[in-house]
């Protein structure tokens, strides 16, 4: 097909599957505006499904994609036929002048990201050393343990414990394009970024005044580090997109009972778990934070959120089973994280990792002050109301930071090498989380100020 039509065709499949999955929950007459939501849901669900099919013995290719897409679409359509379509009206809002300016900026930045994605080759060595080669092997040989598990006879891939969603999507992209073209990775990342922006805008549209929503979203997508990572070819952007989307969907479910947001959260959580090993602790952390925050204000909705999280974690069971069955080592075993004696002997690593990670969180030349702005809005709301609930977004980001520091503290690799090669990327999920939560938090702050005035 070629690069452009091939990548677009693959994502058209993702969008179609996403729409089918969410059909029962999409407001009538506004389906087109949910294209970003459908893209992320379809990419996550289809990629996970084809990945599971590979664990079951199929090669990653057009056949497995067709089977998985047909099953997912049939399930979504059947649900819509059995339980009917939702009668919830879509949230609507008008676009004011300042919002129009921000929208123009969003269109410009995302257009540049798309052009750059299709015209650039990945700069991250993991993209051509790990992700794409694994995808090509999945396409040509399937999940062959001789290539994916340590053994004494064959050369096997590095970091064998990595889940394979991103390699699966890369393999599908190469099949649609018709040739091994590394630009497939960057092109797919750019499309996911556009879908992420569209999904956040649609889910918050009418809930947050337009100028607040669009300016906050512009800060996110214009962050230099996000745009840089979008051309890296790595899995850090998909992981960040899915983690932040899970958090947003969970918040909307707890705050308003939006069933579409709940399903979206579950599917994106599954995508995060299948994207990188960090997905599991990060989703687990945010789930615990959501439970703690919703215990007093939205307790009746917590069982459904727990069910959504359980479904997401269940999707990771096949890969966990395959890893254990073939003896795949884990780079950071749980015993290392909990080994108090070993950690006490390595406290010098804290002095290296903690400030380095904090610098990446706070550097305005990387993330345009997303975290400081979130903290400022969170603290301002707490000072106005003295309600601890305002501090939950800040707590989520700080706990994410603590989780990363802990991981770098316990890791076995040389700390300077580890920080230099990965710290700037591992903060991505929590900086995107800060950016996604900034708009609704600012909206609540403005409403509280207006109420008091």
pLDDT of 370: 96
Helix (H) or strand (E) run with residue 50 in it? helix 35-55
**pLDDT of residue 453 exceeding 70:** no
Whole-number average pLDDT of the chain = 92
End-to-end CA distance of the chain: 60
Q: Where does the pLDDT of residue 157 fall: very low under 50, low under 70, confident under 90, or very high at 90 and above?
A: confident
**pLDDT of residue 8 exceeding 90:** yes
pLDDT tens, 159-183?
Answer: 888 999 999 999 999 999 999 999 9
pLDDT tens, 273-290?
Answer: 999 999 999 999 999 999
H helices of 120-164, in order, are 125-126, 132-140, 145-148
pLDDT of 147: 83
CA 410 to chain centre: 24
CA 439 to chain centre: 18
**pLDDT of residue 245 exceeding 70:** yes
**pLDDT of residue 151 exceeding 90:** no
pLDDT tens, 38-84?
Answer: 999 999 999 999 999 999 999 999 999 999 999 999 999 999 988 87
pLDDT of 155: 66
**Half-sphere exposure of residue 421, counting CA atoms within 13 Å on the CB side?**
10
**pLDDT of residue 93 exceeding 80:** no
- Asked if residue 48 lies in contact with residue 67, where contact means CB atoms within 8 angstroms, the answer is no
Distance CA 281, CA 284 (A): 5
H helices of 206-258, in order, are 210-221, 224-230, 236-256
pLDDT of 201: 96
pLDDT of 281: 95
**pLDDT of residue 346 exceeding 90:** no
**pLDDT of residue 324 exceeding 70:** yes
Q: What's the pTM?
A: 0.95
């Amino acid at each position: 097909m070629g690069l452009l039509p091939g990548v677009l065709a693959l994502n058209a499949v993702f969008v179609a599957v996403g729409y089918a999955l969410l059909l029962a929950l999409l407001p009538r007459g506004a389906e087109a505006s949910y294209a970003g939501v459908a893209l992320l849901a379809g990419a996550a669900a289809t990629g996970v499904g084809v990945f599971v099919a590979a664990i079951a013995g199929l090669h990653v290719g057009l056949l497995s994609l067709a089977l998985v897409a047909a099953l997912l679409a049939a399930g979504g359509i059947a649900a819509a036929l059995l339980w009917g379509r939702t009668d919830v009206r879509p949230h609507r809002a008008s676009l004011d002048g300042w919002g129009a300016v921000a929208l123009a900026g969003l269109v410009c930045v995302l257009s540049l990201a798309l052009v750059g994605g299709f015209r650039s080759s990945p700069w991250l060595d993991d993209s051509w050393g790990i992700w794409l080669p694994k995808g090509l092997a999945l396409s040509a040989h399937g999940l062959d343990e001789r290539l994916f598990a340590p053994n004494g006879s064959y050369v096997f891939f590095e970091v064998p414990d990595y889940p394979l969603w991103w390699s699966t999507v890369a393999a599908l992209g190469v099949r649609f394009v018709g040739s091994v073209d590394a630009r497939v990775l960057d092109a797919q990342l750019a499309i996911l970024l556009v879908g992420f922006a569209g999904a956040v805008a649609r889910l918050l549209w009418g809930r947050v005044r337009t100028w607040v929503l669009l300016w906050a979203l512009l800060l996110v997508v214009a962050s230099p580090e996000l745009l840089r990572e979008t051309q890296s070819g790595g899995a850090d952007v998909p992981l960040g997109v899915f983690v932040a989307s899970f958090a947003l969907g969970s918040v909307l479910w707890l705050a308003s009972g939006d069933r579409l947001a709940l399903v979206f959260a579950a599917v994106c959580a599954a995508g995060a778990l299948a994207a990188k090993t960090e997905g599991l602790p990060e989703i687990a952390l945010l789930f615990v934070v959501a439970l703690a925050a919703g215990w007093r204000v939205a307790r009746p909705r917590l069982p459904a959120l727990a069910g959504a999280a359980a479904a997401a974690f269940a999707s990771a069971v096949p890969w966990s089973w395959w890893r254990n069955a073939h003896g795949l080592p884990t780079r950071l075993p749980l015993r290392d994280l909990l080994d108090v004696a070993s950690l006490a002997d390595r406290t010098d690593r804290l002095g290296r990792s903690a400030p380095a990670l904090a610098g990446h969180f706070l550097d305005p030349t990387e993330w345009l002050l997303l975290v400081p702005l979130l903290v400022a809005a969170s603290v301002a709301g707490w000072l106005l109301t003295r309600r601890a609930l305002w501090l939950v977004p800040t707590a989520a980001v700080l706990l994410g930071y603590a989780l990363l520091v802990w991981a770098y503290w316990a890791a076995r690799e040389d700390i300077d090498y580890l920080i230099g090669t990965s710290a700037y990327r591992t903060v991505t999920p929590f900086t995107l989380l800060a950016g996604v939560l900034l708009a609704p938090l600012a909206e609540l702050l403005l409403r509280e100020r207006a109420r008091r005035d």
